[in-house]
Amino acid sequence: MPFLKGKPKIGGRTKQSKNKATILKEKVGLNNWDGLTSYIETDGAAKLIREMKKLKGKDYVTAFGGLAEFVKPKLARTVLSGPNDNPVKISSVIDYSKLSDAALQEIINATSIKSSFRELTI
């Protein structure tokens, strides 16, 4: 149902009331960056370790992968620059003539471009 001008608000939080995240933040004492940093390094880290130990299988791998990126950033999120902060040009050349028939077939099977090579006979 669309909002009608002049109709009173029904449900939800009252004006200027705090949301759950703000209430929790204040309860834990995270009202500034120093408080947040302190919490992350002490109680937050201890709780994270306890919770991680409870995880198994896929849930553990997913959580671990999400955390690992904060320790070692993904290459795509790493800034590479050459001399005088100029961009770095990265290129690679593959000489397909030096690959075996089996290696070529494996590349064709593993890439999304294999449909272009259906007619190709190796």
For residue 114, what pLDDT band results from cuts at 50, 70 and 90? very low
Q: Tokens 């849930």 label which residue?
A: 59
pTM above threshold 0.85: no
pLDDT by residue (tens digit) across 53-85?
999 988 888 888 888 877 776 766 667 778 888
Task: Please list the residues that pair with 81 across neighbouring strands.
Answer: 87
pLDDT at residue 54, rounded to an integer: 93
Measured distance CA(95)–CA(90) in Å, rounded? 17
